Structure 1
């Protein structure tokens, strides 16, 4: 950052975001941060964003609340990045060759409090990273409105060879345009012996320009200090001061001193010296540490110290506005009005612009008759014709260049572009003001102490009538009309106007929610054994359309197509592109449609475990927004991409009719709503998933609830068709084709039935009813012949019935019906099928017994015939009742009629056997001799 005067890694910077840091952070809107260097950056979260490449399609990572904007700006500037970097490098070399920056060596300022190093704590050594244990981080600042001075001291010990590499190389950055660097001491402490190193150290001043990738030239210089003879166990203790106040702040300093870092520190000390006549306010952030105060030599000293400070462990997916880092804020700006009044002269429109600028305003006025058209034309001109390039040296960190200069050179950063657009709108008679925002803190800016350092970006707030528009001139040219224009929304903004008293919310109730719809159409009409055509149609509107449009514009078409192919290859390895990608862009309504064409071979995969084909249909776009949080046990909130409204429709054309069950699943959580509906038609079915975000973050105490809701939603994002192949199933071994559970149950049941049948055969009851008359007909003739035929055939009918249900008893089908979680599972399938097996075996055995008794003309034949008629009716009724309880089985009218017919037939034959003379005359044989006295009436036979 420009003129920070802070050390680079591995030394812990004591001041945080510098008061002189440039307002514009460049196209990515966020700085990279790591280790202790990130500890005091104010907002340390920098979650990555995705731009549609490498397996992610048009989706911003849920953990990055600012990802949408970061992507938009990265895509906007990528095309000219290399050329801009080369140009700036040349400018840097030309500007510094004549007057190289210098440094001085001298004692520490008299007002600085000397602090002893901390004592190593064994419990903190476990948190050490990089082989460096920091013993002291000391930061003391002179908040003098006329001459700001910052003193920094670092003491660190190398506990590994890697640590030696770190502490033996010191880097200090400063802005030579208004700052001077003074080195006080560099000592190596070895075995309690102090070895001075400053005199013999190798010191080089480098103009590194670390922001060139973002096309920002800040003029900062790095003092790179190389120490010799540093060993494991050595302590490097060094101190320096940076003097100077950026003139752009008009003598009003501000700053932020960090109290905790990403690594453990044995002692942390911060102090602020304020002249008695200076109006500087102190404000602690996330700390209750009490200050020690004293007055001396016309200064008020405030200091804070704590020992054994553990590492601050940040968590993934934290929102940008969440800042748990304890710090001391201080500022000479007492409120937001003071900040607005300071910035007003910087963004005040010039009274007399150049003739070139006036000519551009006149051209727009003549081309567009209405205010809305003029507003859009001016915005597009600045977005399109003024390329992004930042010259953030000294006062240029926050002060924009003159509009005439920006128009002439045709480049500028957010400050320059904003003032140019303000000037054009003023000449067109449209009210507009500059607006400061923080693209990382977003709404969290309201929780910071007022100062210019709170903000990292500036844009335009324009008014037409009662409507207000938040316009970002650094975006890619926006061709939508005002009703569909994507407007900036960073939570809150500071309007640069002398009347401003507070921050202004940027959210608008009438702002359309950015929509995205993905339609996946699978054409399997020719069968799953053939390649299946997949057409993916993505339609985006609003800000989602901007992201998709910028991704396409800034990427190589072939590479982009390949990245989309790889996105689906994770699900379908045998996918290939069948036709070029097509793009239809409706810019006025800010709606864009991308159509992709693929062919999937082997969409259906044979499962050796399940002995079936599985065709899986997943929704990777849905899974992208249903991201599982990195950790549910956490202390930080979870950031969500909001607002998000995603609809994914999966349509599948089938080769034949398929039993598709209509379903609707809704998962509701305070953070989101997910809904899935499944419907079917002739040889087709469709699945519609919709995800809507309801907020931009989930509180830490709600993380477990949110994670469970996400898991539940993800469980419903897959759909599978499956079917068996008798030929492939038969190819398995015999053991694989046997349902051992059913076989064992059937064998045991069959053995039981046979044992009972044998006992029944030994039963020897008397003839049924009264003895037949001597003249009564006998023999298996007449109506009895029909009964005989029936009992002869029935055992074989039972065997055929067992064969009919055998297909449901195969291992594959049995598993599909009885395994929890499959599409066809129901808890009654197993008992229903086992009941049929046991029942059919019982009927088969006992009807066989009746058949034997019939041909032996045993007296027990009528008894068992009647019993089996009744048992058959009861079996059919119970079996039908079980089937009714199964959703996949429908009991038709003919089934009920068949049961009634069976019961009536049984009643008729029972009556015949009870009354027939032929029956009594035919079934007269017994196993033993008849008793001396004949029975007078029917006696129930033994079981």
Structure 2
């Protein structure tokens, strides 16, 4: 399947279109020949039954609106390849783009079979992300090319016109030369007036541009032939890493230009009377600015449901306040605009801020561009300090100092005085979950065991549990906890209803659950031996392995956090004394565990601390060892089950000694009596 989706075009306003026009190739397009004969150098460009011969992108910025022409060629190798390549799919936004198809043809020997004609493409709106509550209004043009055979070459050429109006005619794009699925001949060309300045930045050594000038028009070309295929990314590669050759082009001179372009769309505007009344009630109830900021955040998080609506402006501008509030739904842009409007009415200094959920760490390495961002949050300035708030998150607890956003790196506040990116603070290590399991084990194998499980969630861990309770109810939460327990102890039943203590001020939630387990002992491989197993369902699954293959980048372990598990078991009798302790420590990561048994008390403690988002790649082997240790999440307590009583393994019963001792004494007494009688008889 060939799929074309321009993610970063440039230019001015274009008329709407919901159909595909069939036109000749524009005269300015260079239809330079490409290699059609098979060669060993093309092997890296073979996948899924096709060989990708040509990917040619040409952009014309010399007219009143941009023209973007795409040309491709693929050699069909198998029937499966024909099935994939023969379905041509093009996406475009009718709000500002038009689509023209120039040719769809098959080269078969000396024949050139043309299939493009008016009406051959069907246009429909499929909204691929609607299940994720995202609606973008883009149209899909689809054409199934008939009679495609092995050894055919399928050529296709089309042009898209127009760009997002909010860009103000400025051009910007990001071109990645996909080294994971390379094309044998990759070309990129830009035609622009000589006086139009477009900055360029390279990443991972892409081909250098060749520039020529004719009639005051610059012709900038890049070409990469025979790109070698590289192995897939190593597991846990940070999302902000640029792995393949790429280059960026942008007409935006500074981040201030980007902020100035976008800031006007987030101005407050008129606040609907009903909404103004809600804002004023918060202002009357809370005089402290920090409390006002937090309560207004929770109001927006709780009252405005999420739905991403991107129609007409490519998803870059929010709707007006009346529309947002009357529908009670919105995406990140809408929620940010609503929060900013209410915050300013409450006397707070707030503005929208753009972030990247994937490449935030690397934003200071790229050229200024609106396309660098994929999310909108809020910056609040209070007492000379910046606070970062995300109204799209579920309702958050805690004070303003405790509230965090899960985003990393740089942000662009949309304020008139902004000229550069602002770095968001590093995330503190939050103890998001502590599990305390308190077991009581009966004296016999058939005796039931009891468990009191206390789960304490803090910070964003508490926010997640609170959201789960809101969506599933306390009964649903209790049912989920019981199901997790029954995966290891099928006979587990809830002894008492779960108790929930919610401290929203300090953002902590404690769940107190009590269970009874019958028949919890399991047979061992050794005769007369049984064991009881205790399972950690949190720390053991928190990290995943990075593999032992050589890696070029650090290991991504996610948001700083701490999880711990304390297991205490009261046995029916004294258990052999034992102690052990183990620690694995890497830069930014620590796993500690200890075990002890003393009298009837058995205790185990395990704690995982993630202090930074990444672990150095040089520590990959040590990291995998730490993960394997963390995944050893089952503690076995071995026991002997002779005579149905629970005893430590290797226990030797004193029963035989107690029975045989009187017998031995009696035998000795009888022997002495007989000997004395014999001696007496002999003396007579």
Name 2:668's counterpart in structure 1.
Answer: none
Cα offset for 1:727?
7.3
Is 2:240 aligned against 1:324? no
Structure 1 partner of 2:93: 175
The alpha-carbon deviation at position 117 of structure 1 amounts to 3.4
For residue 544 of structure 1, report the CA deviation from its aligned partner.
1.2
1:470 and 2:388 matched: yes
Answer whether contact 2:445 2:641 (CA < 8 A) is retained.
no
Cα gap change, 1:289/1:655 in structure 2, threshold over 3 Å: closer, same or farther? same
CA distance in 2, matches of 1:197, 1:139: 22
Task: Tell me if the contact between 1:121 and 1:266 (Cα under 8 Å) persists in the aligned partners.
Answer: no
Q: Aligned residue for 2:302?
A: 384
State the Cα deviation string for residues 97-137 of structure 1 (Å, max 9, x = none).
xx971221112233322243345444764774432321111
Residue 624 in structure 1 maps to residue 512 in structure 2: no
Contact 1:676/1:688, CA 8 A, preserved across alignment? yes
Change (3 A) 1:614 1:410: closer
1:233 aligned residue = 151
Inter-CA distance 614–120: structure 2 relative to 1 (3 Å threshold): farther
User: Cα 1:234–1:259, aligned 2, differ >3 Å: closer, same or farther?
Assistant: same
SS in 1 for 2:407: coil
**Among candidates 720, 736, 751, match of residue 636 of structure 2:** 720
For 1:331 and 1:515, locate their aligned partners in 2 and report how far apart those are by CA, in whole Å: 42
Which among 686, 690, 701 is matched to residue 603 of structure 2? Answer: 686
1:49 matched residue in structure 2: none
* 3-state SS, counterpart of residue 164 of structure 1: helix
SS at structure 2 position matched to 1:544: helix
Following superposition of structure 1 onto structure 2, how do residues 209-358 of structure 1 map, counting pairs within 5 Å?
209-312=127-230, 313-350=232-269, 353-358=271-276
How many angstroms does 1:297 deviate by? 3.8
Give the paired residue count. Answer: 641
The whole-number CA distance in structure 2 between the counterparts of 1:156 and 1:563 is 51
Which residue does the alignment assign to 2:8?
18
Q: Indicate conservation of the 8 Å contact 1:469/1:487, yes or no.
A: no
Task: Provide the secondary structure at the position in 1 that maps to 2:102.
Answer: strand
Change (3 A) 1:129 1:698: farther
- 1:921 aligned residue: none
CA contact (8 A) 2:395 2:467 kept: no
SS in 1 for 2:284: helix
Where 1:209 maps in the other structure, the secondary structure is coil
Match of 2:166, SS? helix
Q: By how many angstroms is 1:508 displaced? A: 5.1
In 2: Cα distance, 1:141 partner to 1:415 partner: 30
- The equivalent of 1:700 in structure 2 is 617
CA positional deviation for 1:344: 2.2
> Aligned residue for 1:928?
none
Change (3 A) 1:625 1:362: closer
Deviation at 1:435, TM superposition (A): 0.9
C-alpha spacing 1:714/1:591, structure 2 compared with 1 (3 Å) = same
Cross-structure match for 2:593 = 676
Structure 1 residue aligned with 2:70:
152
Question: For residue 591 of structure 1, what is the aligned residue in structure 2?
Answer: 508
Q: Aligned partners of 1:100 and 1:502: how far apart in 2?
A: 37
Residue 300 (structure 2) pairs with residue 394 (structure 1): no
Q: Does 1:184 align with 2:102?
A: yes
Which of 101, 104, 112 does residue 21 from structure 2 map onto? 104
Which whole-Å CA distance do the structure 2 matches of 1:257 and 1:200 have between them?
A: 31
1:190-234: CA deviation from partner (whole Å, max 9, x where unpaired): 234221111287311101122322333222111011211112332
Give the Cα separation in 1 of the matches to 2:611 and 2:169.
44
**2:279 corresponds to which residue?**
361
Secondary structure of 1:290 counterpart: coil
- Cα distance, 1:654–1:405 mapped onto 2, change above 3 Å: same
Separation of aligned partners in 2, 1:481 and 1:516: 19
- 1:630 positional shift: 4.1
1:242 CA displacement: 0.4
How far, CA to CA, are the matches of 2:544 and 2:264 in structure 1? 46
Identify the match of residue 642 of structure 1 among 531, 546, 559: 559
CA displacement at 1:649 relative to structure 2: 0.6
User: Is the contact made by 1:104 and 1:183 (CA closer than 8 Å) also made in structure 2?
Assistant: yes
Preserved contact between residue 157 and residue 167 of structure 1 (Cα < 8 Å): no
The structural deviation recorded for 1:682 is 4.1
SS at match of 2:575: coil
Distance 1:562 1:360, change over 3 A: closer
**Contact map agreement 2:23 2:100 (CA 8 A) in 1:** yes
Distance in 2 (CA, whole Å) between partners of 1:522 and 1:144 is 76
Alpha-carbon distance between aligned partners in 2 of 1:561 and 1:129, rounded to the nearest angstrom: 49
Distance 1:724 1:493, change over 3 A: same
Alignment check: 8 A CA contact 2:71 2:155 kept: yes
Q: What residue is the counterpart of 2:340 in the other structure?
A: 422
Q: Deviations over 1:341-361 (max 9, x none)?
A: 2222222333x5454444343
2:432 equivalent in structure 1: 515
Distance, in Å, in 2 between the alignment partners of 1:183 and 1:676 is: 64
Superposition deviation, residue 423 in structure 1: 1.4
Query: 2:379 is paired with a residue of what secondary structure?
Result: strand
CA distance in 1 between counterparts of 2:597 and 2:517 reads: 22
| SS of alignment partner, residue 150 of structure 1 | strand
1:226–1:674 Cα change, 3 Å: same
| 2:362 counterpart of 1:372 | no
Tell me if the contact between 2:171 and 2:251 (Cα under 8 Å) persists in the aligned partners. yes
Which runs of no fewer than 5 residues in structure 2 stay unpaired? Answer: 645-655, 658-684
More helix by share: 1
1:582-621 deviation digits (Å, cap 9, x = unpaired)? 4332222211123344444443322235763233333232
Match of 2:80 among 134, 158, 162: 162
Residue 135 (str. 1) matches residue 53 (str. 2): yes
For 1:774-813, list aligned pairs within 5 A.
none
Q: Secondary structure of 2:324's match?
A: helix
Q: Using a 3 Å threshold, how does the CA distance of structure 1 residues 290 and 357 change in structure 2: closer, same or farther?
A: same
Please say which structure displays the higher CA radius of gyration.
Answer: 1
* Pairing 1:605–2:596 present: no
Q: CA deviation at 1:553?
A: 2.7
User: Would you say the 8 A contact 1:527–1:654 is kept in 2?
Assistant: no
What displacement does 1:182 show? 0.6
After the TM superposition, which residues 537-576 of structure 1 pair with which residues of structure 2 at under 5 Å, given as runs? 537-555=454-472, 561=478, 563-569=480-486, 571-572=488-489, 575=492
Please, what TM-score do these two structures have when normalized by structure 2? Answer: 0.86
- 2:573 partner SS: coil
**Alpha-carbon spacing, 1:150–1:207, altered in 2? closer, same or farther (3 Å):** same
Distance verdict in 2 for CA 1:158–1:318, change over 3 Å: same
Match of 1:525 among 442, 447, 467: 442
Residue 330 of structure 1, CA deviation:
0.6
Instruction: Give the Cα–Cα distance (whole angstroms) in 2 for the partners of residues 145 and 178 of structure 1.
Output: 16
TM-score by length of 1: 0.64
Say if 1:189 and 1:290 are closer, same or farther in 2 by CA, change over 3 A.
same
Three-state SS of the structure 2 residue aligned to 1:660 is strand
Give yes or no for contact 1:144–1:278 (8 Å, CA) kept in 2.
no
Contact 2:10 2:162 in 1 (8 A): no
Q: Deviations over 1:281-301 (max 9, x none)?
A: 111122242222212343212
Shift of 1:528: 4.3
